[in-house]
A and B are shown apart, each in its own frame.
Chain A
């Protein structure tokens, strides 16, 4: 990471560079494909109610080839809606993944970590038909029984990290980043309704962003005047409108921040094509009572945020980062509905109310969660909604545009459910993770076509994010770094840190090659690369973790276990610890041979080879 200080007024970068591109997707229903019907032999839970599902159940009864994995059950309405379309359009689909695959996938998705070997053995052996559901619950629970310190679970770590990333908590908050971290942790540990949480951060005032957390979320996106000592308020309001649009409404208002949509976005986003720069300003005008300033001089990025601003959006003010504004009506107007604040209502309170009660807020949030668990959003990228072709009938969409997704009914059902369940994130995560759709394997017989992706007819293989790769290497080898995340307490996992600033420089550089971002400049990348291969093959940081003599490392404990473990047991343990699956007979024999020939050196080599198998860095 660069050691330079990012000049303050450039902090809009997050928005500028993180802006996603709304790819035009052209769904083509009726794609030809082998008919591989589905079969819920088991009674659906909850009970199938829709006519469509009745049809589905009847039509496919008894026709699925039996597998050791059992039939695909309709576990909830996600499955009803997904499998109805798969069946309707004759899309080949995967079967349920194996227990070991499910355990690995759901552990990574919900907790960011691999399952431990003992857990894998236990889970695979378990004959409880409800064991997958129970596993999801067990991964999510926070036990407070007998706990005197702050309870910490991998689930809380992973989702605190996720939201820290989403809200760009980092160096630009100064010491406020620690406060923001705790604040997010509290929101998750208490399972505070998400709408309430978002209302809090959108309407926050603070005497100091170094002393209280709430103000840090807006503070993060200010733009300075050229003298870099005072805030340019109109530019900052614009950033807030853009940022809240992206992460809470799934829309990319950045595109209309410099120019109207028309003649710029005609091929990019139909809805944005109809929006104007002034629409962004009217959205930004909700923030126009906010005053933000540095109370202690211009070299300290400690801010006051209060409601003593001038109360109107001034189009004649000078923009530091964009083309100058023109005269326009800038009454605060919510971009999705045209609503204004009610008489006497604080505009920010009005904004938070309109935003959190709009279905698009629920959709966007649920879609973000879906993307985390499936590797791809129902609308993807999740910041790329095109509202003019989202839940609009195909007949209402001008050619050559087509509907943005075939799963709008699913996303809306999820969004309404999220609202009905009081914006309960855990409920939604659990609902998705316990669906059969989430549990499909990545394997489909016969050719696979890009058009099938939108059906979620199999699990899409995607690379682990940089942090998860590093944590998986640490966990597999049992050799950990110590990171100073918040004061004297040290943590072992990257996903327990507050932000990438907590990592040592050499590790940061390594993780940048895996697409780690600093939450300021660019979206994280999940691409693979040559450099990544070389790091896994030969970087000192990785090689150092593979040494069998390191005290209490996984290898050291395995090789010196009492009573001694057989080579076969050691090999199995290493496969479970790295790939979270049992070795095949051939793999086991090969590993045993390595150990027999070279003992600890052979074990090191085997561990190295396992970490270098593609499946180690992939979520499948």
Chain B
């Protein structure tokens, strides 16, 4: 019996993270289908103003009435320093000094609603833009994975970064579903994780030597496994991707957390993630969707208590510093085609749901609330300096939609906006899924109602 020798792990930087290169599952040749060939159902016209998307997720659910849809009442701490920063827009300037100062760059949406009030389902919903279904959890990809899948044709030989990078996510991440593993997120951790893609300068020559040994060894024996076996092919292919990143002369700079940057971005896990996001997108080496998880906003108790490790002040300050610096830097970064990085990147920032408005609860906090929440948008043609939509006096319900559809916005609309900005036809569907049920990029329903899902047009005009 003779076996082909395994392909030597390639060190060329071509075709890294190439979709279609290897099979899907970590299992060996299980009858999984490869659901390619997404088909268009009814043509929509995507806007196509963005090349990239930066998605900042406020895990736990940010209190909208203490931030972007501020509602003053007897509960409001006096040191919030509430000020009007634009017509109809009040902000707690003490919590968001920089965003308030640079408000011209942001638009606030105040007319979002969601369906889920339970964390994991809400996290799932926001990232997948599909309601949670136990029957389909394994096959529904996240929005980021769809963006990665859709961008595969645009990949250049010089691209060495994965199309979908995420940061500081834990177990609760929505991955590639029925799409290939290479569409899934590559998660980096800036909160004490090990950024193993950077080979320290003084280990470089040894690392190169080790890689050459590994290649030599793989030529000497096929080992104990049939070389064409899927997991072996995958392991070699993923290693080539990893090496493509590690051996790039650009990667130390991209994954560098410079001390002065760190300080400027707030010296937090979130700030560090923002620095990396800036570098990763700014490199223009194949990364299309960058998601940052920022938590934990689930302030059921003592929301204003500064003695608590996490409270509305600390979380807001981290978000304010990191995001403001990031946007400022992106606005200063000129890209190859002459546009700034900010002009080419749609920035979306939102949480799991809103929080109960009005007086604080008995625990001096706020619980989960699905009937109103806020989001921040910037970049890629978003017209900033204003708030779209409005809620009632306490912030409990949407009273003014603020866009052409004249209804509350839902997470499906947010996803459609991302797809539209990135030039992706959101009416596409994939018919060949493992369960046999059609996967629509966007389902034209939300919760229990049919919905004329649309991009949120008013952001751009």
Complex CA–CA separation, A228 to B119 (angstroms):
14
Question: Could you tell me if A521 and B120 are in contact, using CB atoms closer than 8 angstroms?
Answer: yes
A517-B171, A521-B172 known; A24 vs B436 contact (CB < 8 Å): yes
Q: Is B320 engaged at the interface, CB distance under 8 Å to the other chain? A: no
Question: Could you tell me if B181 and A614 are in contact, using CB atoms closer than 8 angstroms?
Answer: no
| B46-66 Cβ-contact flags toward A at 8 Å (1 or 0) | 000000000000011000000
Complex CA–CA separation, A448 to B25 (angstroms):
16
Considering residues B60, B226, B436, which has the most beta carbons from chain A within 10 angstroms of its beta carbon? B226
Q: Which residues 122-140 of B have a CB within 8 angstroms of A?
A: 124, 132, 134-139
Complex CA–CA separation, A330 to B260 (angstroms):
65
A140 to B: closest C-beta gap in Å: 24
Q: Is B254 engaged at the interface, CB distance under 8 Å to the other chain? A: no
Closest residue of A by beta carbon distance from B193: A509
Interface of B is mostly: loop
Q: Is A535 engaged at the interface, CB distance under 8 Å to the other chain? A: yes
A17-B137, A21-B137, A267-B436 known; A617 vs B196 contact (CB < 8 Å): no
Chain B: interface size category = 35 or more
Chain A positions within 8 Å of B457 at CB level: none
Q: Is B77 engaged at the interface, CB distance under 8 Å to the other chain? A: no
Question: Could you tell me if B162 and A453 are in contact, using CB atoms closer than 8 angstroms?
Answer: no
| B170-183 Cβ-contact flags toward A at 8 Å (1 or 0) | 11100000000100
Question: Could you tell me if A537 and B187 are in contact, using CB atoms closer than 8 angstroms?
Answer: no
Complex CA–CA separation, A617 to B196 (angstroms):
18
Question: Could you tell me if A463 and B239 are in contact, using CB atoms closer than 8 angstroms?
Answer: no
Q: Is B207 engaged at the interface, CB distance under 8 Å to the other chain? A: yes
B189 to A: closest C-beta gap in Å: 5
Complex CA–CA separation, A522 to B197 (angstroms):
26
Complex CA–CA separation, A220 to B66 (angstroms):
34
B245 to A: closest C-beta gap in Å: 7
Q: Which residues 197-232 of B have a CB within 8 angstroms of A?
A: 197-199, 206-207, 209-210, 213-214, 216-218, 220-221, 223-226, 229-232
Contact for B241 among A100, A450, A533, CB less than 8 A: A533
Q: Is A527 engaged at the interface, CB distance under 8 Å to the other chain? A: yes
| A483-514 Cβ-contact flags toward B at 8 Å (1 or 0) | 00000000000000000000001100110110
Q: Is B1 engaged at the interface, CB distance under 8 Å to the other chain? A: yes
Considering residues A255, A445, A512, which has the most beta carbons from chain B within 10 angstroms of its beta carbon? A512
| A229-260 Cβ-contact flags toward B at 8 Å (1 or 0) | 00000000000000000000000101100000
Question: Could you tell me if B187 and A609 are in contact, using CB atoms closer than 8 angstroms?
Answer: no
Question: Could you tell me if A4 and B232 are in contact, using CB atoms closer than 8 angstroms?
Answer: no
Closest residue of B by beta carbon distance from A538: B196
Question: Could you tell me if B225 and A620 are in contact, using CB atoms closer than 8 angstroms?
Answer: yes
Question: Could you tell me if A533 and B136 are in contact, using CB atoms closer than 8 angstroms?
Answer: no
Question: Could you tell me if A612 and B214 are in contact, using CB atoms closer than 8 angstroms?
Answer: yes
Q: Looking at the complex, which of A70-78, A334-342, A357-365, A586-594 is the stretch in contact with chain B?
A: A586-594
Question: Could you tell me if B135 and A376 are in contact, using CB atoms closer than 8 angstroms?
Answer: no
Question: Could you tell me if B197 and A461 are in contact, using CB atoms closer than 8 angstroms?
Answer: no
| B88-117 Cβ-contact flags toward A at 8 Å (1 or 0) | 000000000000000000000000000000
Q: Is A129 engaged at the interface, CB distance under 8 Å to the other chain? A: no
Closest residue of B by beta carbon distance from A527: B26
Question: Could you tell me if A620 and B224 are in contact, using CB atoms closer than 8 angstroms?
Answer: yes
Contact for A22 among B59, B135, B298, CB less than 8 A: B135
B111 to A: closest C-beta gap in Å: 25
A24-B436, A533-B242 known; A605 vs B192 contact (CB < 8 Å): no
Q: Is B300 engaged at the interface, CB distance under 8 Å to the other chain? A: yes
Chain A positions within 8 Å of B436 at CB level: 24, 267
Chain B positions within 8 Å of A128 at CB level: none
How many residues of chain A are within 8 Å of chain B by beta carbon? 97
Chain B positions within 8 Å of A463 at CB level: 26, 231
A2-B170, A528-B234 known; A609 vs B435 contact (CB < 8 Å): no
| B296-331 Cβ-contact flags toward A at 8 Å (1 or 0) | 101010000000000000000000000000000000
Question: Could you tell me if B120 and A13 are in contact, using CB atoms closer than 8 angstroms?
Answer: yes
Question: Could you tell me if A541 and B194 are in contact, using CB atoms closer than 8 angstroms?
Answer: yes
A581-B224, A587-B217 known; A528 vs B181 contact (CB < 8 Å): yes
Question: Could you tell me if A539 and B238 are in contact, using CB atoms closer than 8 angstroms?
Answer: no
| A92-104 Cβ-contact flags toward B at 8 Å (1 or 0) | 0000001011000
Chain B positions within 8 Å of A206 at CB level: none
Complex CA–CA separation, A534 to B210 (angstroms):
14
Contact for B213 among A12, A539, A594, CB less than 8 A: A594
Q: Is B28 engaged at the interface, CB distance under 8 Å to the other chain? A: yes
| A8-42 Cβ-contact flags toward B at 8 Å (1 or 0) | 01101100110111111100000000000000000
Q: Which residues 317-373 of A have a CB within 8 angstroms of B?
A: 320-321
Question: Could you tell me if A448 and B134 are in contact, using CB atoms closer than 8 angstroms?
Answer: no
Question: Could you tell me if B27 and A376 are in contact, using CB atoms closer than 8 angstroms?
Answer: yes
Q: Is B394 engaged at the interface, CB distance under 8 Å to the other chain? A: no
Chain B positions within 8 Å of A537 at CB level: 196, 207, 239, 242-243, 246
Q: Which residues 562-611 of A have a CB within 8 angstroms of B?
A: 579, 581, 583-584, 586-587, 590, 594, 601, 605-606, 608-610
Provide 28 A-B residue pairs closer than 8 Å at the C-beta atoms, listed in order of the A residue. Answer: A4-B295, A6-B119, A16-B120, A17-B137, A20-B138, A21-B434, A24-B436, A252-B134, A255-B134, A442-B224, A442-B225, A443-B3, A453-B31, A461-B230, A512-B171, A518-B170, A522-B172, A526-B26, A530-B245, A535-B194, A535-B196, A537-B207, A590-B217, A605-B209, A608-B210, A609-B213, A612-B239, A618-B232
**Residues of chain B having any CB pair with chain A under 8 Å:** 1, 3, 17, 25-31, 59-60, 118-121, 124, 132, 134-139, 162, 170-172, 181, 184, 186-187, 189, 192-194, 196-199, 206-207, 209-210, 213-214, 216-218, 220-221, 223-226, 229-232, 234-236, 238-239, 241-243, 245-246, 295-296, 298, 300, 367, 434-437
Q: Which 9 A-B pairs have the closest CB atoms?
A: A19-B134, A614-B235, A533-B242, A586-B220, A4-B296, A450-B31, A461-B28, A539-B196, A584-B221
